[in-house]
Chain A
Amino acid sequence: MSGQTSVLYDVPGPRQRRITWISSIAVGIALLLAAYFLIYRPLDQKGQLSMELWGPLIDPGNENFSQVWDRLGFGFRQTLVAAALSILSSLVLGTLLAILRIQLKSLARRRFTGLSTPLSYLLRGLSTLLSAITRVCVEVFRGLPVVLTIFFVARGLPEFGVSFDTLWYLVIGLTIYNMVVIAEILRSGMEGLPGGQAEAAAAIGLSPLQTTRMILLPQAFRVMLPALISQLVVVLKDTSLGFIIAYEDTLNIAKQIIGVLSNPIQTYVIIAVMFIVVNYSLSKLAQYVQRRLARGRKTANTPAQNPPATALIAQASAGGGTP
C-alpha cells in the first residue's frame, strides 16, 4: 500500500514529518526488542535454531537434504495437481450452475401465455420448484465447512460402492464447495449488469439462453475476474485439507518428514514460506487484473455498479467507495 493509505491524515507538514521520524525510530527499536525477546530468544533457548534441525531443509550439503526436497517436491506437485483439477472442474460446473440458476429464475417469472391454463400453472409451479431446489442446494453446500464436505465424500462414496483414489475424493469435495461459490460469484455478476444489456439482447431476438451465454456471461466473467482469482487462491489453500483423508500433499509429506527428523517448527516454516510465495503472487495477479479492469471501465464510461458481497472486501480495500 502506498503512503497515503487513509482518509484520517493530511499530507504531513515538516513538524508532522519530524514527529513521524522520531516515533518511527522509537517504535522500530521497540519492535526489534520485542522480536528478540519474544521470538528469537525462546527459539534459541529451546535449541530450535540449531543446524541439526534446519540442516536437512536448507543446507544442500546435509545428507538428508536431497531426499527431503524430493519428498517435498513430490508433495507440492500433488498439491498443485489437486488444485488444478479442482479449479478446472469447479470453474466449468460453477459456470453451468450459474447459467442454470439464471435460466430457472427467469423461467419461474414467466407467465407461459398461449398455453391452456392448467398447463401454464403446472409449468410455473414446476419451474418455481426447480428454482427453489437449486437455491437450497446452493445454500446447503455453501453453509457446510469444506473439511466436512471432503470428509463426507471420502466416507460416504465408499458406502455406495464407489471408491476412488484419495485424490478424487479431495477433488470432488473441493469442487462441490467451490463450484457453488463460483456460481454465486458469476450469478451476482450477471445480476449486477445494467438491465439494458439483457433487454437489448432480447430486442435483437436472442433467446434467454443465448442472451446469458453470449451477452451476460462474458461480461460477468470480466467484472468478476478479481473475485474469481481470489477464489482460486482459496482452492489452493483448501487442498491442504487433504490431510484429513491422508492424501499425500505437501502437508502430509511434511508430517512424514517431521516423523523422521522431529523438527516440526522448521519444516512448517518452510512449508509456510512456500504457500505464502505462491498465494501472494496469485493475489498480486488479482490486484493487477483489477487495476487493469478499473482503467478499462473508466474509458468505457460505464456507471460503477454495486459491488457484490463476494468482491466487497477486495473492492473496498482497493480504495473505491466514493458515490
Chain B
Amino acid sequence: MDVLIENFDVFAGGFWVTLQICLLAAIGALILGAIVAVFRISPVPPLRAVGTAYVTVFRNLPLTVVMFFSAFGLPALGSNADFLRIPLLDSLFTRLGTDLPYFRFALIALVLYTAAFVCEALRSGVNAVSAGQAEAARSLGLTFSQNLRHVVLPQAWKAATVPLGSVIIAMIKNSALAGFFGVVGDLAQSADQLTSAEGFAFIPVAIGISIGYLIMTVPLGALLDRLEKRQAVAR
C-alpha cells in the first residue's frame, strides 16, 4: 500500500485531470445535446432529419471509433482543434491551451458522443409530458413560448433529470478511454504508467485508481437513486 501514499500526487493529479475533462465534456455535451434535441423536436422536417441522423450515428458508434476519428482524422485534415483554445477557458484549464492536442481531441470525441445521449434524455423528458397538459395550456390561450416555459419544460425537466444523470455517469466512466488515447496524466493513464513503465505492484495501483473513479460515480448514482424514488412516489 506504500505505492498509494508515495505516489499520492500522481493519483491526485490524475483525478484532477479526469475531473477537468469530465467537467468540460459535461458542459459541452449538455449544450450540444440541447441543440440537437431542439432540432429533433422542431417543426421543420430537415432539421428533424439532421437531429435524427446525428443521434443514430453517434448512438451506434463505439466511443473508441469517435476517439480515433478525432485523434487521427482531425490531424489528417490539418486541424489540431485550435478552436477550443478559448482565451479565458484555457487559462483556467491549462490543458486546453497546450500544444499536445490530445486533451482537446478527447474532449471533442466525448462531447460529440455524449451529446447524442443527452439529446435522447432531454427528448424523452419532453415526450413524457402528457399531451393533455400542453393541449390544456394551448386552450387557455398560452402562446407557444409561454406554454413551453410554464407548462411543458418544468415537467420535462423533472422527467429528464434521472436519465440525464445516468448519461453523465456513463460519460465519467467513458472518459477513462481518453487516457489510453494519449491524454497524459489522467487517472487511467496513471494506472498504465505506474504499473507498466515504472513497475509498481499492480494491486495497490488498481485499488487507488478504482477509488478515484468510484469517488466520482458512486455518490452520483446514489443521488440519482434517491431522486428516482422520490419521483416515483410523486407521480
Residues of A in contact with B (beta carbons under 8 Å apart): 1, 5-10, 12, 16, 20, 23-24, 27-28, 31, 42-43, 46, 48, 139-140, 142-148, 151-152, 155-156, 159, 233, 237-238, 240-241, 243-244, 251, 254, 258, 264-265, 268, 271-272, 275-276, 279-280, 283, 306, 309, 312-313, 316-317, 319-323
Q: Smallest Cβ distance from A28 to chain B, in angstroms?
A: 5
Instruction: Indicate if B217 sits at the interface (CB-CB under 8 A).
Output: yes
B78 contacts which chain A residues (CB < 8 A)? 46
- Of all chain B residues, the one with the shortest Cβ separation from A242 is B64
Q: Is the CB of A143 within 8 A of B217?
A: yes
Looking at the complex, which one of A27, A46, A145, A276 makes contact with B174 (CB distance below 8 Å)? A145
Q: Smallest Cβ distance from B123 to chain A, in angstroms?
A: 6
Q: Is the CB of A155 within 8 A of B195?
A: yes
User: A306–B62 Cα gap in the complex (Å)?
Assistant: 30
New contact pairs (16) apart from A155-B202, A309-B224, CB-CB < 8 Å: A28-B46, A46-B77, A46-B78, A139-B218, A143-B217, A251-B64, A268-B68, A268-B73, A272-B69, A276-B61, A280-B60, A316-B159, A317-B127, A321-B128, A321-B129, A323-B235
A145 contacts which chain B residues (CB < 8 A)? 173-177, 188, 213
Q: Is the CB of A144 within 8 A of B210?
A: yes
Q: Which of B121-151 contact A (CB under 8 A)?
A: 121, 123-135, 138, 144, 147-148
Q: Is the CB of A27 within 8 A of B162?
A: no
Q: Mark B170-181, 1 if CB is under 8 A from A, else 0.
A: 000111110010
- Of all chain A residues, the one with the shortest Cβ separation from B156 is A7
Looking at the complex, which one of B45, B46, B124, B224 makes contact with A316 (CB distance below 8 Å)? B124
B203 contacts which chain A residues (CB < 8 A)? 156, 159
Provide a sorted-by-A list of 25 A–B residue pairs whose CB atoms are within 8 angstroms: A1-B52, A5-B48, A7-B135, A7-B152, A8-B147, A20-B45, A139-B218, A142-B221, A143-B214, A143-B218, A146-B173, A147-B188, A156-B202, A156-B206, A265-B69, A272-B69, A276-B57, A279-B59, A280-B60, A283-B59, A312-B124, A317-B120, A321-B128, A321-B129, A323-B235
